[in-house]
Structure 1
Amino acid sequence: MALHNGPRKKTRYKFKKDLRSRGVLPVTRVIQQFELGQKVHIVCEPSIQKGMPHRRFHGKTGSVVGQRGRAWLVEIRDGNKFKTVISRPQHLRAQQF
Structure 2
Amino acid sequence: MRRSRGFRSKTRHKLQKVKRPGRSNPITRKIQNFEQDDLVHIIIDPSIHRGQPHPRFHGKTGRVIGKMGKAFVVAIKDGKKDKQLVVRPEHLQMQK
Structure 2 runs not aligned, ≥5 long:
none
Match of 2:57 in 1: 57
User: 2: distance between equivalents of 1:74 and 1:31?
Assistant: 17
Q: Does 1:79 align with 2:83?
A: no
**Alpha carbons of structure 1 residues 21 and 91: separation in structure 2 relative to 1, 3 Å:** farther
Deviations 1:10-59 (A, max 9, x none): 10000111121785300000000001000000000000000000011000
Q: Report SS of the residue matched to 1:67.
A: strand
Q: Does 1:28 align with 2:28?
A: yes
**Aligned pairs, number:** 96
Structure 2 letter corresponding to 1:18: V
**Alpha carbons of structure 1 residues 32 and 60: separation in structure 2 relative to 1, 3 Å:** same
Q: Which moved more, 1:15-24 or 1:84-93?
A: 15-24
Q: TM-score, normalised by structure 1?
A: 0.93
**Alpha carbons of structure 1 residues 79 and 22: separation in structure 2 relative to 1, 3 Å:** farther
Structure 1 runs not aligned, ≥5 long:
none
Runs of 4+, deviation exceeding 6 Å: none
Match of 1:18 in 2: 18
